[in-house]
Structure 1
């Protein structure tokens, strides 16, 4: 073989070797072999199921996590990123564009699970009259409760310093059903809640009005594990620490403007990613870190902020001389969790039924009507009594309150008939429930 041929063969062999190597590297990359090998090692190592109560969580780890910067390219639908938080403008997002809303929900989900853990929706309520009507109802409730029971204490202020309405969701409906219906007909609730919790979520709310001089909260995490003591937290397995933040969505709607000096919520972006945060936030060194690094975003009336409940956060201090900061705090629970407050839905449905029926008669099953049904009625039929309420032919679960309420307004039932069906369903769902008559609402 002459020299030229040997050189050609050598070049071909080298090219084939390079191609083979590239192919192998591509396969390894595709299969993510390093991660696979780490998982293999981890699966063979027995680790304690709970965090060690005698060791301290690592502030260095939290600091490294929270030094990340949010890139606008990760959240292209956001108007901007400010103070490490994506800011969206509902005015510029078309609710009728299903593809856009799907992409938006992808962004919101990524934010809370892998990103900064918090975002703001400008113009969440675009019509200030809805907020004004709700505020009037809240004022009437506060005055009535003050007369009957006196001033209430608050999470972070003595009695009479601030005003709080526990379970404002139920009280709002009973005080002013028209205002309540308009408020929770806002389809943005469904977009936000579905993006993180999926369907069949449960909304609860609490109004909080912070007066001038109202002090800041201590940084904390929220429901479920955020409400446990230090001793209790370490008794829960590590998987529960990760799970608890996926069961609840936290938020607040601004019912007044919230200028900087009025104390809008203080937030530590990315802190929800710190695995041991539920047992760390009470420690002085973590409190000091929060106080040095938190961010707070001024908001306007009708704006909303939503965040992962594991995010380190705290209400700010109202440093104004004459301005009351008012927010409707939102806690939304997954169908697979328990709400922070008990909601008796039947009185709320009865009180708002005629308003909802009229709204459906004028509009049909619009996004607004659907949003209200999801807010006011239970979407998850369990726990139930399967002897009394077997699954319908069309699915693996019996009808929910939302199913029956939709059927009622679509078919124009009277309020009496609708309430009779819902009451019978509730009775049949109890441990000692009676079997429903065979003219079942669903399964047809």
Structure 2
């Protein structure tokens, strides 16, 4: 699930289809970070705008495939939390208390909650984070990227995932009688006209809704009350758009899936939403669409974009880093696909290589060292014991030789006349 991408923010994203979250206008993250990358953080690019986001996705993806993340990677993420429970995109000095200048946001906070809740043992941290999220819920039931900002589909959906991750029922998290589902339904387009069934990111200045594929992928998952990690629907669901009856979250999810299925029907991918950019594949949004389609209608509904990603996403993921690998792992998981053989690519190994070695790898290295030490000790003992054995044997032979000499001497004396 990608986070907020406003027109100004989209201009800052350097890589088409990047998994990095949106930020206020400014310099794009560079390959040569101006901020030192902490040793516990995944990825090598400047973490200023997406440190917590990419770390959360990386750790969540590792957990999803049974990999135990490095302790220092988990500690780094937990250490980014402010005293009030919120997370910023990145704090270079987590020992320094958060103040008004620290720009906390709902997306980083909700992503961290999903990761820490999955890993377990962080109930206090996730509890504080969820309390903060509830405190900044808008009157329409949704959330914006920044506290107090207008609700948008992406932010509301990632918060829904955080609520579900800690066992909360999103429908019961209300502000002025409105739940997150009410906010999402207000951002869903009808089944007639342009963008039928899609979700908008936000209303425009005139209050009109425009279809947004990125928001639609997020909105489908959010309307289903799910987070970033989903399993395919138990039985195939219909991705048919209908406005009949009272709008429900489930129907809004089906409508959104219908829009996505139509969008990927021809080429197998979603196109970039960068303002002014020529149509080109958006890998991150396509991966999100796979998750959404599988969650709503089963793995079969996501087959075409999944196959496209298997053939074409390797270079993008390598360039974009840990969050991109995580998105592909989520897509594989949602469709029952082996992430260790994703079009011939081992996504798990590639993700692990972008940061500190997971605990299993650390333990394997320790076990190998212990085994070597034990072998060296055994060889040393064998050597020492072998030396002792040789000299013990020589000594026995000398004693035996002396005994034979005495025996022969006695026999000689008895034989003398």
Tell me which structure has the larger Cα radius of gyration. 2
Q: Same fold (TM over 0.5)?
A: no
* TM-score category of the 2 structures, normalised to the smaller one: under 0.3
Point out the structure with the larger helix share.
2
Point out the structure with the larger strand share.
1
